[in-house]
């Protein structure tokens, strides 16, 4: 099973982890690490390295981060490039986290990345778009 390390600014990681546990319960091979305002890049690097050691070394690791270009993304990227099969996905939200935690069994890190990107694109929508899609589906089902 892929290992997942979730990280982001402030309480992003622990907040999403708490929401995930409320919906799915405790998850194995999963670690959340916050990057609060009082932290440093060196401390975050050390924490992410420790998390990588704690996860099963026989499996690939995927980092889920909050913001492209932010410190958690940059540090995760540096670490992922040093580990074969390491991936970094940014722009993480609760829908993506829940779906991918459930779908990761049997996926390579590359397949996980591709599926997560599809999930992210599918999950970003609006009420107007969803109502329009529902109307379109209803009219197709009615047919002649």
| Lowest-confidence region among 2-6, 49-53, 129-133 | 129-133
Q: Scanning the structure block, which residue is given the tokens 């459930």?
A: 102
Percent of the chain whose predicted confidence (pLDDT) is above 70: 94
Alpha helix (H) residue ranges in 69-126: 71-82, 94-103, 109-123
Interval 86-109 mean pLDDT: 94
Residue 60 sits in a domain whose CATH number is 3.40.50.510
Percent of the chain whose predicted confidence (pLDDT) is above 90: 78
Assigned token pair, 98 = 């829940």
Residue 144 has pLDDT above 70, yes or no: no
* Residue 1 confidence class, pLDDT cut points 50, 70, 90: confident
Residue 143 has pLDDT above 80, yes or no: no
Assigned token pair, 121 = 């694109």
Q: What integer pLDDT is reported at residue 139 of this predicted model?
A: 66
- Which range marks the domain in which residue 114 is found? 3-142
Q: What integer pLDDT is reported at residue 59 of this predicted model?
A: 80
Q: What integer pLDDT is reported at residue 135 of this predicted model?
A: 76
Residue 9: its H or E element: strand 3-9
Assigned token pair, 32 = 């959340």
Which tens digit of pLDDT belongs to each residue from 30-61? 999 999 999 999 999 999 999 999 997 678 99
How many domains does one find in the chain?
Answer: 1
């Amino acid at each position: 099973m892929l290992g997942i390390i979730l990280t982001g600014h402030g309480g992003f990681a622990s907040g999403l982890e708490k929401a995930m546990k409320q919906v799915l319960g405790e998850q194995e091979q999963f670690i959340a690490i916050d990057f609060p305002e009082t932290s440093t890049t060196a401390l975050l690097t050390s924490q992410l390295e420790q998390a990588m050691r704690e996860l099963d070394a026989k499996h690939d690791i995927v980092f889920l981060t909050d913001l492209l270009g932010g410190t958690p993304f940059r540090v995760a990227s540096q670490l992922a490039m040093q580990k074969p099969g390491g991936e970094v996905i940014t722009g993480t939200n609760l829908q993506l986290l829940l779906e991918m935690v459930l779908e990761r069994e049997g996926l390579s890190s590359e397949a996980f990345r591709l599926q997560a990107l599809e999930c992210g694109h599918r999950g970003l929508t609006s009420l107007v778009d969803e109502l329009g899609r529902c109307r379109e589906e209803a009219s197709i089902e009615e047919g002649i």
